[in-house]
């Protein structure tokens, strides 16, 4: 009898604790650093059969997470210097990347302006998590000198010395200047998964393959459930359907990461949010998940 009462009390306490944990995330907002495109999807996914090809205009996804312990930014988009058209773009990025990706980023699309629109002071952002060191994800880490920057240790190496096919030229897919000006910042250098605030609400997931040390995020919200934010571990629906991305450090690691995220989605009965899916962003972007 006594045992049953204690077990019941423990059960209630556990439930109260898990309820409190999810309440610690006040909201998650999905925004974009302008758009890329239009261009043919096979430029990114050459494995896609021609009858499935289409022109796409894709988001450059960035996320703002308002946690009780501070504001987190997940990816900072394209560098501010490329705002305002191809002439500006070609002064900072390789001309070929500007011509192919056709970034539409305006100054007001950049992460600092996006934060202000949402009512946050960029100087008070506590944590910047960067999925990987490609030009459309790490572009503005230098705007956050006061934040703790979270990357996989290997990804910092990757950013400084990428494989030649990933774009080793000064202005390839990795733009050295995006990283160089932030070199003395505070970095939390990870080797795998990490529970950001120790409460299970913001989990960093190691998802290598697209780059050497790519990472994704899983966030528990109060009313919108668990949100899996893959960034470039899964670009868009076609990758989810089994057509691999055309740019990978390791196709094997990439495939393992896609499968890991899919299984997590199915086991937890939740949804995957992808970095560059035009249809998903049109349906679900530019909004809060609370």
Smallest distance, Zn ion to C-beta of residue 214, A: 10
Q: Which of 232, 238, 253, 277 binds Zn ion (CB under 5 A)?
A: 232
Smallest distance, Zn ion to C-beta of residue 69, A: 28
What residues does 71 pair with on adjacent strands?
66
- 125 to 164: interface string for Zn ion, x by CB under 5 A: -----------x----------------------------
Work out whether strand 202-206 and strand 215-220 pair parallel, antiparallel, or are unpaired: antiparallel
Give the range of 80-88, 106-114, 175-183, 230-238 binding Zn ion by CB under 5 A: 230-238
Smallest distance, Zn ion to C-beta of residue 228, A: 17
16 vs 282, beta carbon nearer Zn ion: 282
27 vs 59, beta carbon nearer Zn ion: 59
232 vs 238, beta carbon nearer Zn ion: 232
By the rule CB under 5 A, 277 interacts with Zn ion: no
81 vs 101, beta carbon nearer Zn ion: 101
Closest to 140 (Cα-Cα) out of 216, 83, 207: 83
Smallest distance, Zn ion to C-beta of residue 210, A: 8
Which residues, numbered 50-79, are part of the site for Zn ion (CB under 5 A)? Answer: none
Smallest distance, Zn ion to C-beta of residue 134, A: 6
109 vs 136, beta carbon nearer Zn ion: 136
d(CA 129, CA 40): 30
64 vs 245, beta carbon nearer Zn ion: 245
Smallest distance, Zn ion to C-beta of residue 247, A: 9
32 vs 201, beta carbon nearer Zn ion: 32
Smallest distance, Zn ion to C-beta of residue 58, A: 9
What residue ranges bind Zn ion (CB under 5 A)? 136, 232
């Amino acid at each position: 009898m006594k045992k049953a009462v204690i077990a019941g009390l423990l059960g209630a306490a556990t439930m109260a604790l898990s309820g409190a944990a999810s309440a610690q995330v006040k909201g998650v907002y999905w925004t974009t650093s302008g758009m890329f495109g239009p261009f043919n999807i096979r430029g990114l996914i050459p494995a896609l059969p021609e009858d499935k090809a289409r022109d796409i205009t894709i988001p450059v996804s960035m996320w703002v997470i308002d946690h009780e312990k501070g504001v987190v930014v997940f990816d900072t988009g394209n560098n501010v210097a490329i705002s305002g058209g191809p002439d500006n773009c070609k002064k900072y990025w390789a001309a070929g990347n500007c011509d192919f990706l056709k970034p539409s980023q305006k100054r007001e699309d950049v992460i600092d302006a996006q934060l202000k629109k949402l009512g946050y002071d960029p100087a008070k952002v506590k944590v910047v998590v960067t999925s990987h060191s490609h030009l459309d994800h790490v572009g503005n880490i230098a705007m956050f000198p006061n934040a703790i920057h979270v990357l996989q240790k290997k990804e910092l190496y990757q950013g400084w010395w990428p494989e030649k096919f990933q774009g080793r030229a000064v202005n390839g897919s990795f733009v050295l200047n995006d990283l160089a000006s932030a070199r003395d910042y505070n970095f939390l250098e990870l080797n795998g998964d990490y529970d950001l605030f120790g409460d299970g609400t913001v989990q960093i997931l190691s998802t290598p393959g697209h780059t050497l040390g790519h990472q994704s995020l899983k966030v528990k919200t109060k009313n919108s459930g668990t949100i899996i934010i893959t960034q470039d571990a899964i670009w868009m629906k076609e990758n989810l359907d089994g057509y691999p991305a055309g740019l990978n450090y390791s196709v094997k690691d990439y495939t393992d990461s896609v499968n890991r995220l899919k299984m997590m989605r199915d086991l937890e009965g939740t949804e995957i949010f992808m970095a560059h899916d035009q249809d998903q962003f049109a349906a679900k972007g530019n909004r809060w998940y609370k």
